[in-house]
Structure 1
Amino acid sequence: MAAFTGSMIPKYSQAQILPYRNPELTPHERAVDLCSRLTLEEKASLMLDDSPAIPRLGIKRWQWWSEALHGVANMGNVTNFPEPIGMAASWNDALVFKVFDAVSTEARAKWNELTAKGGDVTRFHALSVWTPNVNIFRDPRWGRGQETYGEDPYLTGVMGSAVVRGLQGPEDTRYRKLWACAKHYAVHSGPEWSRHTADIENISARDLWETYLPAFKTVVEDAKVREVMCAYQRYDNEPCCSNTRLLQDILRNEWGFKYLVVSDCGAVTDIHANHKVASDAVHSSARATLAGTDVECGFDYAYKSIPEAVHRDLIKESEVDKHVIRLLEGRFDLGEMDDPSLVSWSNIPSSVLESQEHRRLALDMARQTMTLLQNRNAILPLKQGERIAVIGPNADNKPMMWGNYNGTPTTTVTILDGIRRVNRKTVYMQGCDLTDSRIVTPLFSECSFEGRKGFKGTFWNNARRAGKPVTTEYYTQPFSKTTAGNYQFAPGVNLTDFSAQYETVFRPAKSGEVVINVESVSRFDVVVNGEVKVRHATWRTTPTRTPIQVEAGKEYKIEIHFAHMPTYGASIKVNIGTESEIDYADVIRQLKGIDKVVFVGGIAPSLEGEEMPVEIDGFKGGDRTHIELPAVQRNFLKALREAGKRVVFVCCSGSAIAMQPESENCEAILQAWYPGMEGGTAVADVLYGKVCPSGKLPVTFYSSSEQLGDFEDYRMEGRTYRYIRDFKPLFPFGHGLSYTTFDIGEARLSSTVMGKNNVTMEIPVTNTGKRDGAEVVQVYVRNPQDPEGPVMQLRGYSRIDVKAGKTATATIVLTPKSFEWFDIQTNTIRTKAGTYDVLYGNSSRQEALKKVTVTIN
């Protein structure tokens, strides 16, 4: 039976149709009716993130799992925006809203393409997107911190709300544009390697209410987010996805959340398999359902056993109905079961994908993420005509630009591309690897297959390379693929149970030794001219070197056979070329006559991210074991300085890097994050002064790893600007320089007493330099009566443009919520009476902040 087509039913006859097919009824009314027509087994099947069709009721296959962290993920021909941690550095929530309005437009366009062709809904191709990540980035070692909006609960809540509103569309429309999801609830920020077994039990009620919950509360109450994802770990010895206190008492009862709770992927199975607080899948499904988890994301679904849990009287079918009604409401709210003619979003065309408008938006956002940390001797901006050198492993690194949880754009402007467009006198050499003291000079230009340059990749949705391939791809440069972060190796390829064959014919221009480097955590073989050179049956996290002696002019057929192993995730990294140890002196000799060097380094999403198979110095399982710059880069920068070069360090990363030596060895440091498809233009625009930098740090940059506490300790004392008391970081939260100067004047307050009305602050900002620029005025609140509480907390900000020589006014409104503080008597957070210090300036550096007081009666 086909789903109801509203345009086919005259209005007068709608009373005669089944209620769930009537678009004039509310989503809740329709969901209640449809739920009543389902069998118990059908209800359980709809509680899976990949739920099957139920043809007898016109219910189509449905997916809850799709990603849109900073653009539509796991798809091509989409706009790739900067990583969220970079967007947070813009301190521009209005622009963040525009970005995610564009992202949701592209997601709908992809959906419209699929449904117009009558295609089956597959994972990552849904109207439910699992973003934003509003966890607090409490420790820079966490590999997924790049997905967040920083270390501050207020900034994270504001940015997260902008994301949700951009994705979901206006509340007054008939249908939601998408459903957004706030994750990972709650108290989660690494380590990645222990998340399936960890118990967060040592944090105080103060840390819970002042640090870990506020951003979730904001996106639930203010932005009306439609989904919340429960996290993997335990909180107070109860897994988050079966935690009644988190999911019922706080989320639903206190905050009034009435929409969907979805589990992180495999988290319900973790209840018995890893946390071992339930005996089996049946009991895990009962615990999670009773606590309030509506939909399970999984692989070996525990929720398939819900009918058995009902039959064994562990839960009632009426309890199952509550969850099914909620998820069906969501599907009706998105218009998925109605005729497309009723859904305005169905008119979005494919032409919006990577449109000029969206690319300009990506560039605008990338420019505003650029955070100038240091500019000694005013080395920046560079002069357009001067000869410079660009060196470093991230200068021409496209995948680094894209970040993680990303889609793939058709074109990307690398940092080298951007600089060369401005300065044709640029000399380039890679110089070094991100972490390895050896350097491989790729020879992909000497590889081809079937008339095309590079390697050909062929993929099968089985582990045997059997039957008809799913798809093929070609690679013209060194490539890496991973399923970490739930990426597909190629469109249409499974995350598990798949295989690949990479092949090329290598025709060397010179005789000598060439090395085939393959790094993988799955089974692979390396075959050269039919001879198996390497055969692996177990995983490896270090590169496998296959040296071969080659003769110029001869052909060498190279094959890499790859198969996913069920025990592990899947990843592969392939390079072929000549290998040598870095000779700093030789590089410096090649820089004769060049005074200024732009070194583009840092780290990359291939090193930090979700539960990754990386085990090298400084990195473990997606996290970092220390936050210093990799030694090979640190030594390179030192050598450049000792040679008398003036160095501009462009640092790309999704987390803070301890750069104390680099601050001495480099004259300028520009934090570029993972800046997206237009990031190279944005970097060049700042380096050459076309754009005045305006980014501000959303995280603290520590001087060294010694300033960090135990990574697994979730207590906030000593962490982030809010609780740092005994040391000074290298660059404080909120810090960021400009090419002009600003004077922040004396604040005018509408009142110094908070009564029934809000307090409005008007702060004059004068541009005392010679260039137009933007400044971010930051307002912090401190409670002198509570010395054990936060040093101060961000409670407002205003990003304003000020022309050279002019004065503009930053207006910031303080509400009673601005003075919420932990109350030890009620064990919760509330607005407390007292006199508070209100501090304001352009960073969290206390000695530079000005102060007024406000009294709460």
Structure 2
Amino acid sequence: MIRKRRIGLMTAGAVLLGLPHGGTAQVYRDPAAKPDVRAADLVRRMTLDEKAAQMQNAAPAIPRLAIPPYDYWNEALHGVARAGEATIFPQAIGMAATWDRDLLFAEGQTVATEGRAKYNQAQAEKNYARYYGLTFWSPNINIFRDPRWGRGQETLGEDPYLTGTLGTQFVLGVQGDDPRYYKAVATPKHFAVHSGPERLRHGFNVDPTPRDLAETYLPAFRRTVIDGRAESVMCAYNAVDTKAACANSDLLQKTLRGDWGFKGFVTSDCGAIDDITTGHKNTPTNPQGAALAVKAGTDTGCDFKDEMLDLPKAVKAGYLREADMDQALVRLFTARMRLGMFDPAAQVPFSSIGIDQNHSAEHRALALRAARESIVLLKNDGALPLVKQAQKIAVVGPTATSLIGLEGNYNGTPIGHVLPLDGMEQVFGANRVSYAQGAQLTAELPVAVPRTAFPGGLTVQYFNNTTLTGAPATTARAKEIDVNWAQIAPAPGVGRGGFGVRWTGQLAVPAPGDYQFELETRRGCDIGNGGGSYLIRIEGAPEQRVAINCKSGEKPAPLQVRFTDTRPRAFTLELANNASGAGDVTFSWRPPADALRAEAVRQARGADVVVAFVGLNAWLEGEEMPLQIPGFDGGDRTSIALPASQLKLLDDLAATGKPLVIVLQSGSAVALGQAGRSARAVLEAWYPGEAGGQAIAEVLAGKVNPSGRLPVTFYASTDQLPAFTDYSMNNRTYRYFTGKAEYPFGHGLSYTSFAYGAVQPATPSVAAGQGTSVTATVTNTGRVAGDEVAQLYISASGRDGAPIRSLKGYSRVHLQPGEAKTVTFKLDPRDLALADADGVMRVKAGSYRLWVGGGQPGTTAPGREAKLQVTGQAVLPR
């Protein structure tokens, strides 16, 4: 009965598509009809101008059709972003370092659940703002081909197989397995061949060889579309073969929709439609550029200049058919139908998800698990774990108390986060841990005033007014002034807008000298956007009162103070926020560099071991920013060496003779050089998310056995690499790199040891076009339990232009001491194929070398090898 009713409705819907505009049967309102039929029925009822408006990311309401406003722009790179409190996982590159498919799937599920919770609440409050929708512009699966790219931290690494398999699991977790409704929509991006430089991206053209395109740049997208069934894809800023990616019919029509059978919708990156005309010069006017994008297969634009509103002009000028717009809109509204946006809430299984499921205890535990699994032990000469040797631990370095050092970019607002220093004190005991900042991240930029400068801490009073008068709404204590209040209230009982905050206490500097102080509001000047101000009062110094004017773009001059001694002085900071919401607030300084280092050396000399927290943050490396200082260029890096201010700190710490452990926090490879060779141990912790400080301390203490593996090559220097603008894969990534890396892709140590048994293909030979499997036994030969990441690499000898080796399988296994497990890798025909010069994937007869081990062959990783013979030849689908 039900089946017959659905068939009847579908038939009626198909007939209704041919009705004139005034047809009355509203098939789009019928939940039993097919989503695409419903979408087509709805689209045919719109005017031309309404259609164009619906093709922007911020689509307005059409009340006569009962269409509510909707903004397609939402972010979930490593947790739901920019919509207030949410679970913050390690930055994407850290998630890649887990090499854990199940974890990426669970992360995707968490994103969908928390996204639904926020969406449901927002709908109830009639909040249709950006970042409260269900179409998430994640994951970023561009290949991290060069460590200088600032956005590489957003990716899943340099390898197409690892990126594709992890990205696919994230997509599946986000979209869910309900046969009728998506829990949310995932959007693999940026299609295609996109990886910097940031300052050139709006007009940069890439001419990849067909082989590099097929072998490196497209496989991850193919996998997320075919295996992950992604409903959406984002096209990139750059041009490919002179044609803007968002107007490139070879990419969007021939490859994506033709070869791969993609049925979903394509969104542009933000401003990329405008770039077609103004950046790439593919068309003389924007109406022509927008038309070219739609004809090529872009369905909605993330518009900064209302680019898609020019589509009616394009239709009238003959650049585009209205039918082309209809096709795009049917794709867009099919997705919204499958999200349940036009159905009764009781019928949509995810409509009952409440805000209580946001940042739940279960999700917080998952973020901690992710942080633990993401940490990579790069080097250890026996200094770790710090169980018996370290009675007194000197924690030094600028990232030890840095909030942005946990967050990365594209993140939610942290609640209950654990900074590295706090994690160290919790795990080892505050009585065993001392702290000194030691250095700025770079000599050119201020750094947050550390908690050591506020002896006794700070009293914080919050007011529900901007005059800071009357009784405070609440009072609290703080160790430093480094907060993120984006889309949340600054304290319980305080409104998100129109509030005031007063911090009071004492300020003590580490040495006499000249200091500069300033209040930084980094995220788009969120604080004070409505006419706010701040006041800095330090005993014995002139008072500074600053009116914040975000529109002017002018940054207030810092407060300059000369200290003749180190005695504590009375300190007050007052902030008045007139904006409707708040963001990041950091009280920063530029101290004498020698004073910071001397303080750190004093702490080191009084300790048994030194743990140095150094690295970068997402205000140094990231997406298109105005930063231009030595080593950094607009979000990218010109050098992968640790900044000189931090290298000098490490040199001085090593000179004390105390055992030195380095904890790196970064979004990409950092070359330590001699500093790394002098250290007894080195950890890479990435930007580890809300639980990062706890996870790092647990690994250092041996409570958690490190198990992360590098998803990128840590080169010794950019001198080993081609030019950043060169997109050829020659001598790039572990698959083609012929030099000696500081730490290779796949590398990661453990507090135990593992051994591998014989590598056994299911059969000694396989016919081209057929799949097979490979097994090996892994044994924990050490004394403690641990996770091993078994990695399968394949090499094909005698193939011109082929990678040196390629990852084609991995498996994370947990083993008790003495325990053995058999890992099985399934190889499909594509895993044995290589691209020829024309980009055709071919399986050829020959001998293939198989390696299964804890890292790449030819490194210190344990493993075994075998051979697999392939007979015959086969050409695989694109």
Equivalent residues in 2 for 1:351-430 (5 A)?
Answer: 351-383=356-388, 386-424=391-429, 425-430=432-437
Q: CA separation in 1, counterparts of 2:231 and 2:548?
A: 50
Q: Which moved more, 1:728-737 or 1:419-428?
A: 419-428
Secondary structure at the residue paired with 1:344? coil
Structure 2 distance, partners of 1:439, 1:351, is 36
Which one of the candidate residues 671, 690, 699 is aligned to 1:677? 690
Q: Which residues of 2 match residues 101-112 of structure 1 at below 5 A? A: 101-112=109-120
1:659-711 C-alpha deviation (Å, 9 max, x unpaired): 22122121000111111111111111111111111111000001122222211
Q: Measure the CA separation in 1 of the matches of 2:777 and 2:297.
A: 49
1:724 corresponds to: 737
Taking the TM superposition and a 5 Å limit, the aligned residue runs for 1:361-760 are 361-383=366-388, 386-424=391-429, 425-436=432-443, 441=449, 452-453=460-461, 477-479=480-482, 490=487, 515-518=516-519, 544-548=557-561, 574-575=586-587, 579-583=591-595, 584-725=597-738, 727-755=739-767, 758-760=771-773
Change (3 A) 1:378 1:71: same
**Letter paired with 1:515:** Q
CA distance in 1: counterparts of 2:256 and 2:727, whole angstroms? 21
Q: Does 1:48 align with 2:53?
A: no
- Asked whether the 8 Å contact 2:161–2:808 carries over to 1, the reply is yes
Structure 1 unmatched ranges of 5 or more:
1-9, 460-472, 482-487, 494-498, 565-569
1:239 alignment partner, one of 231, 236, 244:
244
Structure-2 residue corresponding to 1:255: 260
Structure 1 position 576, deviation (Å): 5.2
Shift of 1:515: 3.3
Distance 1:447 1:500 in 2: 29
Aligned residues, how many?
813
The residue aligned with 1:853 is 867
The structural deviation recorded for 1:588 is 2.0
Task: After TM superposition, give the deviation of residue 760 of structure 1 in Å.
Answer: 1.6
- Deviation at residue 786 of structure 1 after TM alignment: 1.1
Deviation at 1:645, TM superposition (A): 1.1
User: Separation in 2 of the partners of 1:165 and 1:718?
Assistant: 33
SS at match of 1:582: helix
The equivalent of 2:335 in structure 1 is: 330
Q: Which residue of 2 aligns with 1:24?
A: 32
The Cα offsets for residues 305-327 of structure 1, whole Å up to 9 and x where unpaired, read as 11111111111111111101111
Displacement of 1:832: 3.2
The residue matched to 1:428 in structure 2 has which SS?
A: strand
Give the 3 Å change call, closer, same or farther, for CA 787–659 of structure 1 in structure 2.
farther
Cα separation, 1, equivalents of 2:119 and 2:52:
25
CA deviation profile, 1:209-250 (whole Å, cap 9, x unmatched): 101000000001110001110000111111100011111111
Distance in 1, matches of 2:821 and 2:568, equals 67
CA RMSD of superposed structures (Å): 3.6
Shift of 1:558: 6.2
Residue 68 of structure 2: aligned partner: 60
Q: How is 1:204-283 mapped onto 2 (pairs within 5 angstroms)? A: 204-283=209-288
Alignment partners' CA distance in 1, 2:240 and 2:579 = 37
d(CA) in 2 for partners of 1:121, 1:36: 24
Shift of 1:195: 0.4
Give the direction of change, closer, same or farther, for the CA distance of 1:20–1:819 in structure 2 (3 Å limit): same
What residue is the counterpart of 1:7 in the other structure? none
Match of 1:142 in 2: 149
Q: What letter matches 1:173 in structure 2?
A: P
Is residue 390–residue 608 contact of structure 2 (8 Å, CA) maintained in 1? no
Distance 1:665 1:553 in 2: 39
2:659 and 2:729 map into 1 onto residues whose CA distance is: 39
The corresponding residue for 2:6 is none
SS of 1:329's equivalent in the other structure is helix
- Show the 5 A alignment for 1:778-793: 778-793=791-806
- In the alignment, the residues of structure 1 paired with residue 160 and residue 111 of structure 2 have an alpha-carbon distance, to the nearest angstrom, of 24
Alpha-carbon distance between aligned partners in 1 of 2:282 and 2:590, rounded to the nearest angstrom: 53
Mapped partners of 2:548, 2:357: distance in 1:
46
Distance 1:811 1:560, change over 3 A: same
Distance 1:130 1:721 in 2: 28
Change (3 A) 1:492 1:242: farther
Letter in 2 for 1:428: Y
Measured in 2, the distance between the counterparts of 1:396 and 1:510 equals 18
Structure 2 segments unaligned to the other structure (5+ residues):
1-8, 17-23, 468-475, 491-496, 537-542, 873-878
Identify if the C-alpha distance between structure 1 residues 303 and 582 changes in structure 2 by more than 3 Å, giving closer, same or farther.
Answer: same
Could you tell me which residue of structure 2 aligns to residue 496 of structure 1? none
Q: Is the 8 A contact 1:518 1:544 kept in 2?
A: no
Matched, 1:312 2:317: yes
**Aligned-partner residue type, residue 864 of structure 2:** K
Q: Is the 8 A contact 1:96 1:159 kept in 2?
A: yes
2:169 is matched by which residue type in structure 1?
A
Query: Residues 793 and 754 of structure 1: is their aligned pair in 2 closer, same or farther, counting only changes over 3 Å?
Result: same
Structure 1's 137 and 280: CA in aligned 2 closer, same or farther, altered over 3 A? same
1:94 alignment partner in structure 2: 102
Task: Measure how far apart 1:544 and its partner are.
Answer: 4.2
Separation of aligned partners in 2, 1:284 and 1:535: 36
SS in 2 for 1:261: strand
Aligned match for 1:828, one of 840, 847, 867: 840
What is the alpha-carbon distance in structure 2 between the residues aligned to residue 854 and residue 442 of structure 1? Answer: 58
Q: Is residue 799 of structure 1 aligned with residue 804 of structure 2?
A: no
1:113 to 2:140 alignment: no
CA contact (8 A) 1:454 1:477 kept: no
Is the Cα contact below 8 Å between 2:389 and 2:608 reproduced in 1? no
Say if 2:207 is the partner of 1:177. no
Task: Give deviations 1:387-438, integer Å, cap 9, x for gaps.
Answer: 2111111111122111110001211011111111121211122222211388
- On the 8 A contact 1:447/1:505 being kept in 2, the answer is no
Q: Give SS of 2:351's match.
A: helix
C-alpha separation in 2, matches of 1:820 and 1:177: 35
**Offset of 1:595 from its aligned partner?**
2.0
CA distance in 2, matches of 1:331, 1:66: 14
Deviation at residue 540 of structure 1 after TM alignment? 7.0
Partner letter of residue 266 of structure 1? G
1:627 Cα deviation from its structure 2 partner: 0.4
| Residue pair 2:117, 2:353 contacting (<8 A) in 1 also | yes
Larger mean Cα displacement after TM superposition, 286-295 or 840-849: 840-849
Do 2:249 and 2:296's aligned partners in 1 also have CA atoms closer than 8 Å? yes
Distance 1:440 1:380 in 2: 30
Change (3 A) 1:743 1:457: farther
Q: Secondary structure, in 3 states, of the residue corresponding to 1:184?
A: coil
Q: Quote the sequence identity (%).
A: 40
For the residues of structure 2 that align with 1:508 and 1:770, how far apart are their CA atoms?
A: 49
Mapped to 2, the partners of 1:100 and 1:181 lie a distance apart of 12
Q: 1:731 to 1:654 in 2, by over 3 A?
A: same
Indicate the residue corresponding to 2:158 in structure 1: 151
Q: 1:387 to 1:530 in 2, by over 3 A?
A: closer
**What's the offset of the Cα at 1:585?**
4.0
Task: Check whether the contact 2:449–2:481 (CA below 8 A) recurs between aligned residues.
Answer: no
Amino acid at match of 1:610: E
Counterparts of 2:859 and 2:616 in 1: how far apart (Å)? 32
Deviation, 1:32, is 1.2
1:3 maps to none
CA distance in 1, matches of 2:659, 2:285: 63
Aligned to 2:786: 773
- 1:514 positional shift: 6.3
Structure 1 residues 576 and 212, CA gap change in structure 2 (3 angstroms): closer
Counterparts of 2:464 and 2:146, CA distance in 1: 40
Amino acid at match of 1:270: D
The residue type paired with residue 609 of structure 1 is G
